[in-house]
Structure 1
Amino acid sequence: MPTMVPLARAFRQRGHEAVIATGPAMAHLEHTVVMPDIPAPSDLGPPPPWIPERDGVLKVPLWSDALVVASAANILDFARTWRPDVIVRETSEYGGQIAAEVLGIPHALIDIAPFAPLEIPLLDELVDKVRARFQVGATEPVLTAGLTPASWHPAQHHFRVPIEQGDEEGPEIVASFGTYAQWLMPESTLPHVLVEALGEVSARAVVAIGHGEWTGPRPPNVRLAPEIPQQRLLGTAKVFVTHAGYSGVREALTAGVPMVAMPLFADQPRNADRIQDLGVGVRVDVKGLTATVLVERIQHVLNTRKYHDAAENLAAQIIDLEVFTNIPDHLVSAV
């Protein structure tokens, strides 16, 4: 949503035809082509019996032969009539690359999760196994577009995704566990621990708690909301408490906001480690986490100048990058 949808719009604004191949759950988006064999998370059955404060980081499979095959087959079926000149895929969508290899056309990569491939053991062998089913060989992307500076992760080209400007009277602390957290951890009290901790910090805070009944604490300095305009709020925030999903991390880096990273699954632990390595925040392990420990970590980042300086330095690197809506021009040149 923060990158592929506006990127498709940028292609169309430059006079190109562009559609988004996606699953039925995203069919409401403009200019979509629905791949009927791609399930939504809710179609995958109930979440595992996982409580992060008890079990720690959840190991989730980031690869499925069946999904990659279905994706490639769906795109190829559509391509018989639409005949694309190039396929642009995001990091975890391998079917698009394989479809491009079958069609003999270029493919490009928008790197929305640069550390995610490292979570898949024997990834090259897995992709080659699917390629063999389609009787094609591997090709390299003609363009790899990173959305953070090279200091975060290298790529052929680096671009910035702008964020909305914040309100002057916005919260000092923004907190969110991301899109899938409520579905994955319905029995967890981790959001309660977070809100309790924020209640002990002398700062205005807002927390995205998802939809559903809230039975946790309600401190007067903490606003609870089902959803929040995260990009806009980060524009004036002083600390971001996050599960360290890449999109949120990228938005915080762009806004120059240091982070308290509480990774839950997938590439989030690697993102949290990178946050700590670059000095733009700290990693906090969720297993056994208490409000007392979390209060200390939040206050430490909030009141320590070096984290703010490092975050502002990275934001300065990002502002010097080319805006990502220029990717169509680079791709046309590359192909």
Structure 2
Amino acid sequence: MRILLTSQPIYSHLVPALLPLARTAQALGHDVAVATAASMADELARAGVAHLPLPHVPGQTELRTDPRLAERFGLPQRLMAPGRHTVEPTVWQQIARAYAGPIAGCFAADLLDAARDWRPDVIVREPAEYGGYLAAERLGVPHATLDIAPFAAEDLPHVVDVLDEQRAALDLPPTGDGWHPHRHLRAGLLPETWYPPSLRPASARYYRMPASAAEPALDPWYAELPDDRPLVLASLGSLVLSLPGMAEVLPAVVAALGELRCTAVLSLGGRTELAELIGSPPKNVHLTPFVPQRTVLATCDLFFTHAGFSSTREAVTAGVPMVALPAVADQPANAHRIAELGLGLRLDLEELTVAGIVDACQRVLVEPAYRWRVRAMQRQLLTGPGFEQLVEDLAGLVGQH
């Protein structure tokens, strides 16, 4: 079977889930390639996965730094209003329409050229990448969605018209159906209980991510952390910390962690210069440029997180309750679901205070029900089918066409 994976040229869209799927399929003897922008070439080379570079698809750095290019693809010039830390819903709808509209059209055109030589049997995309869906429809091959952002499906009613415009450009009939891009298989990466009933299409199945082949050893200083208090991991992610004004929340987070009777490890998301903004942290708070998150989470009692889906999934996998401080994209919806299911609590960036952070963290650390509920979902996840079954299900789609 020839499996073609498609992804926006964004690390968090490609690396955490699509590359493990690629390696699983390769290990089972299938031919696998990833179609994305040339900017991801080094990442794919390190992973040992074939790359089909799409010459006209821009990288994310280009889109963020070239206003004319962003305007050409229908992307907003500014994410946040001055003085605010959150993005208005209308701005995210504009971004969603750009990804389903002109960006998808550009992606599909390049992908169709590449596919004529590579000849995939099935195309698997991540939910922000619609070009793979369009190309698969044009080629008459089955397609599937690896669902790295479950709440992205809430955008589907707002993008149906632009998707149908792209279908028309490829001589495909309109569907008027927002769920059409998921019609063959929507592969979830958390148990069904994570998904609200409205986000459970008939094509949905749920899978367990494989464990990392080589979990990194922790630096020796982790072994010296105290054993007489809970361990809290705090990370807002590298992308969030790069957004305007977001780094300014770190001093409040550090001050709050300093007031808790805990040991805290705070990741700077690779941005070592942020240590100057924080200054000298309290003795119980340890700053680090980067943290091997999956490894450290397995040792933690609480995760203070921006509620990106990969981070949320990793916390559930480790059975660790959360305090969520969402900023952009699907993070607010993920944080709402965390609180709704009792897996932790949600904070609001626009009303953030040191006292509010302390209170939320203390409540989740002290109340055992948060831990019980997240560990119940952990058990559901760990007893689910793995990516080997997903590859088998993709072969079943091919067999039906």
TM-score, length basis structure 1: 0.92
Match among 169, 174, 192 for residue 251 of structure 2: 192
Q: What corresponds to 1:143 in structure 2?
A: 185
Q: What corresponds to 1:264 in structure 2?
A: 327
Match among 31, 36, 53 for residue 17 of structure 1: 31
Q: What corresponds to 2:97 in structure 1?
A: 63
Alignment of 1:216 with 2:278, yes or no, is yes
Q: 1:316 to 1:49 in 2, by over 3 A?
A: closer
Between the aligned partners of 2:303 and 2:249, the Cα distance in structure 1 is 16
Between the aligned partners of 2:236 and 2:297, the Cα distance in structure 1 is 15
Alignment of 1:84 with 2:120, yes or no, is yes
**Residue 106 of structure 1 contacts residue 141 of structure 1 at CA under 8 Å; is this kept in 2?**
no
Letter in 2 for 1:42: T
Letter in 2 for 1:184: L
**Displacement of 1:274:** 0.6
**Displacement of 1:56:** 4.2
Deviation digits for residues 105-140 of structure 1 (CA, Å, limit 9, x no counterpart): 111111111101314652222211211111113565
The percentage of counterpart residues that share the same residue type is 38
Between the aligned partners of 2:188 and 2:258, the Cα distance in structure 1 is 37
Alignment of 1:152 with 2:194, yes or no, is yes
Q: 1:200 to 1:230 in 2, by over 3 A?
A: same
**Displacement of 1:45:** 3.1
Alignment of 1:182 with 2:241, yes or no, is yes
Alignment of 1:37 with 2:100, yes or no, is no
Gaps of 5+ in 2: 1-14, 66-76
Q: What corresponds to 1:307 in structure 2?
A: 370
TM-score, length basis structure 2: 0.78
Judge which range, 181-190 or 74-83, deviates more.
Answer: 181-190
**Residue 240 of structure 2 contacts residue 246 of structure 2 at CA under 8 Å; is this kept in 1?**
no
**Displacement of 1:295:** 1.1
Q: What corresponds to 2:21 in structure 1?
A: 7
Paired residues, number: 334
Letter in 2 for 1:161: M
Quick one: higher RCO (CA 8 Å, sep 6+), 1 or 2?
1
**Residue 55 of structure 1 contacts residue 287 of structure 1 at CA under 8 Å; is this kept in 2?**
yes
Gaps of 5+ in 1: none
Name the structure where helix makes up a greater proportion of residues: 2
**Displacement of 1:187:** 6.1
